[in-house]
């Protein structure tokens, strides 16, 4: 096995010993992929702008706690992993920097970074936007997995949802997200559902049925290559109409994971309201796959780019007809 294949799964630990869902997810993923596991506990305080008042108080308690307390939390986490997977290669890191800084640095040499998130009290079950996950995803060099606390009940047979339009340009991100989902599905025997969510423009279109029909044709063309080259995975696709965050949350309510494309280098790519709402409302683990440094067209045709460009062309064409029909 090469050095690249032995890059670890990094789990950002929570000081609270009752929060073990993300740790269990990371340990199981490392076991399935036969990779080492690295447990990271960062004691530094995030920037105030990333925290609510309650989160700031928790961060202050963590920073002010004795180092021995943090070391004890790390030891408990190692014992939890050893009990779950006795043969797993486990290493630890206790850092005094802020969690975002530490996890971004760890992502440079990791196969994936796993962080946890939990719902706040009194919000009707809605999840808070993770203060660590968003800035880590924005600049991470590897996939970032946000795992909910507590875990959700999943239906059988297992499936993974891939959202190929959650607010980014769609030219390179769907390829990386779909490939990641196909690999994960092959390891755990799950199906893959690739979804394109079409959000109607503000002024509407003259013929929504025609616009959606053209989106479905382009979507089928994009998925055809992956279905041919990965016959071992049950791959399905669909085009939905509505709000992307709400539709993806509904479709992935009982999925093993929701996989989306992450936006490269710049806050504009992943700090928009759609992705933030996906992280708040999707109950299953969310996997954000970054743009690859070198993008190679997987099947000799830019299917994802055609999907997005074709959909925008269809919307624009029908929208331009509207003023002329009104004048007539």
Mean of pLDDT values over 181-204: 86
- The confidence band for 286, taking pLDDT boundaries of 50, 70 and 90, is very high
Given a cut of 50, whether residue 224 has pLDDT beyond it is yes
The rounded Cα 88 to chain-centroid distance in angstroms is 25
198 in Cβ contact with 238 (< 8 Å): no
> What's the predicted TM-score (pTM) here?
0.77
| In the predicted structure, residue 268 carries a pLDDT above the cut 50 | no
67, pLDDT greater than 80? no
Binned at pLDDT 50, 70 and 90, residue 46 comes out as low
| 185 pLDDT more than 60 | yes
C-alpha 280/C-alpha 194 separation (Å) is 21
Q: Which helix (H) or strand (E) holds 134?
A: helix 133-139
Q: Model confidence over 146-159: pLDDT tens digits?
A: 998 877 767 678 99
Give the H/E segment covering residue 287: strand 286-289
| CA atoms of 312 and 273, how far apart (whole Å) | 20
Predicted pLDDT of residue 36:
97
Q: What is the mean pLDDT of the chain?
A: 76
pLDDT surpasses 70 at 314: no
Cβ(80)–Cβ(13) below 8 Å: no
**Going by C-beta distance under 8 Å and a sequence separation of 6 or more, which residues neighbour residue 59?**
45, 46, 51
Question: What pLDDT is attached to residue 2?
Answer: 47
**pLDDT at residue 86 above 80?**
yes
């Amino acid at each position: 096995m090469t050095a690249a294949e032995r890059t670890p799964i990094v789990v950002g630990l929570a000081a609270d010993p009752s929060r073990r869902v993300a740790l269990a997810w990371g340990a199981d993923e490392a076991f399935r992929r036969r990779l080492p596991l690295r447990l990271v506990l960062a004691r530094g305080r995030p920037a105030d702008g990333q925290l609510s008042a309650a989160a700031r108080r928790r961060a202050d308690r963590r920073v002010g706690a004795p180092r021995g307390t943090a070391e004890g939390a790390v030891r408990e986490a190692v014992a939890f992993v050893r009990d779950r997977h006795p043969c797993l290669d486990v290493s630890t890191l206790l850092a005094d920097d802020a969690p975002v800084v530490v996890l971004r640095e760890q992502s440079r040499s990791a196969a994936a970074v796993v962080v946890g998130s939990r719902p706040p009290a009194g919000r009707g079950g809605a999840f808070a936007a993770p203060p660590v996950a968003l800035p880590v995803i924005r600049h991470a060099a590897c996939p970032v997995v946000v795992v909910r606390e507590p875990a959700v009940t999943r239906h059988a047979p297992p499936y993974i949802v891939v959202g190929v339009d959650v607010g980014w340009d769609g030219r390179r991100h769907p390829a990386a997200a779909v490939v990641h989902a196909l690999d994960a599905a092959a390891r755990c025997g799950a199906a893959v559902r690739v979804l394109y969510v079409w959000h109607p423009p503000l002024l509407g279109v003259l013929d929504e049925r025609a616009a959606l029909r053209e989106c479905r044709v382009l979507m089928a063309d994009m998925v055809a290559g992956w279905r041919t080259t990965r016959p071992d995975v049950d791959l399905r696709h669909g085009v939905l109409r509505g709000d992307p965050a709400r539709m993806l949350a509904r479709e992935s309510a009982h999925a093993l994971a929701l996989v989306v494309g992450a936006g490269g280098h710049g806050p504009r790519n992943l700090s928009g309201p759609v992705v933030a709402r996906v992280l708040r409302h999707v109950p299953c683990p969310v996997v954000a796959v970054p743009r690859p440094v070198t993008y190679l067209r997987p099947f000799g045709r830019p299917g994802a780019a055609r999907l997005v460009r074709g959909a925008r062309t269809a919307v624009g064409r029908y929208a331009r007809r509207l003023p002329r029909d009104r004048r007539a």
